Amino acid sequence: MKPIKVGLLGAGTVGAGTFNVLQRNQEEIRRRAGRGIEITMVAARNLDKARAVVGAGVEVVGDPFAVVNNPDIDIVVELIGGYDLPRELVLQAIANGKHVVTANKALLALHGNEIFAAAQEKGVTVAFEAAVAGGVPIIKALREGLTANRIESVAGIINGTTNFILSEMREKGLDFATVLKQAQELGYAEADPTFDIEGVDAAHKLTIMSAIAFGIPVQFDKAYIEGISQLQARDIRYAEQLGYRIKLLGITRRTQTEGKEGGEGIELRVHPTLIPSSRLIANVEGAMNAVLVQADAVGASLYYGKGAGSEPTASAVIADLVDVTRLATVDPYCRVPHLAFQPNQMTDVAIVPMAEITTSYYLRVYVKDQLGVMADLTRILADAGISIDAVLQKEPGDQVNLDIILLTHQTREKNIDAAIEKIEQLPAVISKVTRIRLETLS
């Protein structure tokens, strides 16, 4: 059987890794796919660099549309990144009847519904294992391995940059700015790290996992996103003293909503989170990723590994190439649906507004050390229907002010918002209240 011909868009870190792993393990991959898989054409901005990667036997061009419109190409692998140009290229590839493999989580989070609909209509596959958690096969697990289950929740450390920063802050007691600079020097963080440190990258990935887990359209615009740039070293230290660690988590789960009719909703949120230090996911350190899935039949399962990098991501790209190669001759209606559900079987369960989320909270209130402050705090919380689980008082360095740390029992976000507004109006309160959400993940 003749080999599948692949066109590669992008010959950067992941593109080069994909080519190298495919070449190195070509015999093993051929046996597993049932036929050969060959990259025969590459589009790149830096032609000389791309030629140095792929050698003389592969055609290298500067125009990515030349790859997408080449009738000899069976599968297009999109590794460019970004939104607009990749969307045009992917839709053109689909219109030309080509299968697509992509590692572009931003593209799918924003334009996935359009892309999947076009692919369904044309009878081609769009595969995207590499778009979430790099080499960790979480997409296949959610879409196929757990297909017998009703998935209740997905919670993940899905950005290696932020996990590295938080790990270093905890272990070395350094502040955020210092560790971010180190992360950039080591190559863990980009020159412009905004998408990573502000939670946007994690939200892209979470949006995709949520769609697969619950059979809903991708809805990135409804995700709540909060990053780690405002975290202080002392909050990480206080959390540790209370038996918790702080991680940037993406959380999506089924929940019950309030209202006239009530009913089921889906949480979709990314934010720093206190996790009991005894939990496995709390001990995921450095640039590693981990995703915890809670399902009705299998219970809790944890997926752990490298979430980025040349060859870990290439591993996922090539796994998709093998899957698409195996399915190339299968009737489109018999293939695994892109989001695990057929388009006409998607549900319209609403994303729950952040104000209606129920969880526990860590509150740090920086106050003047004077009588009556604690009584005022407990009164405001009690008036909002919020009960206190634990209290810690610390002197942050000066002798006239105090950090008061409160852990609450579960309450709705809107209740804590109202309480914080009143707390910040107290004369003894010096600065804004630091609020970090808390999840037991049990």
Is residue 313 within 8 Å of 134, Cβ to Cβ? Answer: yes
Q: Give residues with Cβ within 8 angstroms of 188, minimum separation 6.
A: 160, 161, 164, 287
Is residue 125 within 8 Å of 324, Cβ to Cβ? Answer: yes
222 is catalytic: no
**Taking CA 261 as the corner, what is the angle to CA 255 and CA 262, rounded to the nearest 5 degrees?**
15
Query: Sign of dihedral through CA atoms 19, 24, 25, 26?
Result: positive
- Other CB atoms within a 10 A radius of the CB of residue 15 amount to 28
Is residue 33 within 8 Å of 1, Cβ to Cβ? Answer: no
Active-site residue (options: 205, 222, 394, 432): 205
**Taking CA 288 as the corner, what is the angle to CA 282 and CA 228, rounded to the nearest 5 degrees?**
65
Tokens representing 377?
């705090």
Tokens representing 186?
């080591």
Q: How many residues does the chain have?
A: 442
Q: Are strands 151-157 and 126-127 parallel, antiparallel or unpaired?
A: unpaired
Active site positions, annotated? 205
